[in-house]
Amino acid sequence: MDIPRIFNITESAHRIHNPFTPEKLATLGAALRLERGTRVLDLGSGSGEMLCTWARDHGVIGTGIDMSRLFTEKAKRRAEELGVADQVMFIHGDAAGYVSDEKFDVAACVGATWIAGGVAGTIELLARSLRTRGIILIGEPYWRQLPPTEDVAKGCLAGSISDFLMLPELLASFGHLNYDVVEMVLADQDSWDRYEATKWLTMRRWLEANPDDELAKEVRAKLTSEPERYATYTREYLGWGVFALMPR
Ligand code: SAH
């Protein structure tokens, strides 16, 4: 079981697999007023940077589940490196349908809401592992500007304009699901650059080391087209944020 190999190549050097910088991740941790011993569940935990740094900085206890074998290994190494291996556990597996027996204080899905068919389904899934008055974290894109055409949405690698909402609508949608939005931290264009541009040097180095790999052609094509595509579309049109929710 693993995610498509192309992501394990293009994001092999990322610690954070979303448009947040380490500073924004730290801002979120501080905003949530995490207390020592807070139990955090993270579905689609990637390379574990959120759980590991919050364990170091706030003393949280965490469980992360991710389908990438590589990212899960990186998460375990990061926990060792930061001296928090006794506080965080990383499981390689499918987070779709994952419900824990133990209830968590914080249940998160940061940039992987497809695991339960979208935002509403993911909130419902996380709620099943959440204690009363716990906090749900959802990391999700929204439109900074509404794409004028479906082609522009596709340029952002969205399936269609209707895949995402504008920020006010996204915030309202949480209310319609009967949740209060109690905090949020948003990406900006510079933090988006860290997520996207980091892939370019990674691809270039990978191509030099793996010229005969079966994915070399695809990676070469991506490296050639991605900077311009990103600057034309994603950087202009797509926002991203993490939203903290509490059931009303
Ligand atoms: N939350 C992390 C990773 C976000 S990227 C971070 O912010 O850094 C999306 C992650 O979802 C990737 O790590 C990918 O491996 C993982 N993923 C994709 N499908 C999954 C599934 N069905 N179950 C668990 N993880 C999944």
Q: What is the pLDDT of residues 78-111, one digit of tens each?
A: 999 999 999 999 999 999 999 999 999 999 999 9
Once rounded to an integer, what is the mean pLDDT over residues 193-204?
A: 98
Per DSSP, what are the bridge partners of residue 41? 63, 107
Q: What is the pLDDT of residues 149-193, one digit of tens each?
A: 999 999 999 999 999 999 999 999 999 999 999 999 999 999 999
Report the atom number in ligand 1 closest to the C-alpha of 65: 24
Q: Report the residue among 3, 71, 78 best suited for mutation to probe ligand 1: largest number of ligand atoms under 8 A from its CB.
A: 3
Reduced to 3 states (helix: H, G, I; strand: E, B; else coil), residue 108 is strand
> How far apart (Å, rounded) are the C-alpha atoms in residues 2 and 42?
18
> How far apart (Å, rounded) are the C-alpha atoms in residues 42 and 135?
12
Once rounded to an integer, what is the mean pLDDT over residues 52-63?
A: 98
- Going from the C-alpha of 70 to that of each of 8, 83, 195, the distances in angstroms are 7, 20, 18
The DSSP code for 81 is H
How many A from CA of 44 to the centre of ligand 1?
Answer: 3
Beta sheet of 39-43, edge-to-edge order: 88-92, 61-66, 39-43, 104-110, 130-143, 238-247, 179-186
The residues lining ligand 1, judged by C-beta closer than 6 Å to any ligand atom, are 3, 16-18, 44-46, 49, 65-68, 71, 94-96, 110-112, 115
